[in-house]
Amino acid sequence: MLSADTFILLIDKAKFRSTNGIWNQWRLNDPWSVGYVSNLIERKSFHRKEDWEDFYYDSGLKRYQQLLKLAPETRNLLNDFLLKKQNPARVKTIPQNLIVLNTNYGRTKNDLMLKAKVLCKETNLSLSLDECFSCVRFRTICETWNGIILCEKNTIKNMQTRFPQIIFRKVEGERDYAYAIDYELFYEENLLGAIQIKPKSYLGNAPYIRKAKWANEQKHQKYNRDFGKNVRFVIADITGNILNDDDFIPRLQRYYKHLAEKS
């Protein structure tokens, strides 16, 4: 059962899923256009999900105030949330002190509404603007809370109880984006590998899920090339119950036992 601490999708699930393709195609969840939400939500402790949502919008307002100090041409460039998709080479030429205005801040409701208008224009699925805004808000704000604060932290708490000697270290947003990982695992400061925590829906076979799996796999292979360690999926529900327990946990148990015997 979902608790009062869980964000609930306010529109029909089928309508929500119908926007997956456009959302991924236009990279509307790229840190360029929404910020490193995993970093933003870790900046402070939120007692309620509403506090997190308010913080995200307030951070977006602070960004807006910073943008007003810039030349109109620069301001328009940073506000072009489709630029990363349409002209990635241009993004690479932007100074880092300007890039952080996009990656280190949230967005205002008006910013999210601009994304909603893109969805309405591109989907051709008879979604209203309000429904499109619900999709944008849920993916940006609500799924971040449900996935990181509830699912991820409950899952790590569960795993930490089983493996008290293993350190589960949350990665920063840039590392998460580069390698599609949530936590790196250490034993006596030795890197064991990394995990990516996903909901049950990730086990599906819909086209957008297959595409996401392929993209994540490319990043996981890069992690293996760069660090010589593997990335494993942990499928869990919002309470932290591990759904692929029969696959991941025995593997980790064997590795843990091996390391303990060596030490």
- Who's near 239: CB < 8 A, 6+ residues apart? 154
In the chain (263 residues long), the average pLDDT of successive 10-residue segments reads 74 90 88 93 88 97 98 97 93 96 97 93 81 96 92 92 91 90 91 91 79 91 96 91 80 72 64
Token duo for residue 237: 């529900």
Nearest CA among 24, 30, 10, 100 for reference residue 59: 100
pLDDT of residue 24: 86
The answer to whether 209 and 201 are in contact (CB under 8 A) is yes
Token duo for residue 202: 């990730």
Domains annotated on the chain, with CATH: 13-148 (no CATH), 163-262 (3.40.1350)
For helices 49-67 and 96-103, give the axis angle rounded to 10 degrees: 150
Token duo for residue 203: 């086990």
pLDDT of residue 123: 65
pLDDT of residue 2: 44
The answer to whether 103 and 30 are in contact (CB under 8 A) is no
DSSP class of residue 171 equals P
pLDDT of residue 1: 37
pLDDT of residue 208: 67
Nearest CA among 167, 200, 203 for reference residue 186: 167
pLDDT of residue 124: 67
Token duo for residue 160: 């930490």
pTM of the model: 0.77
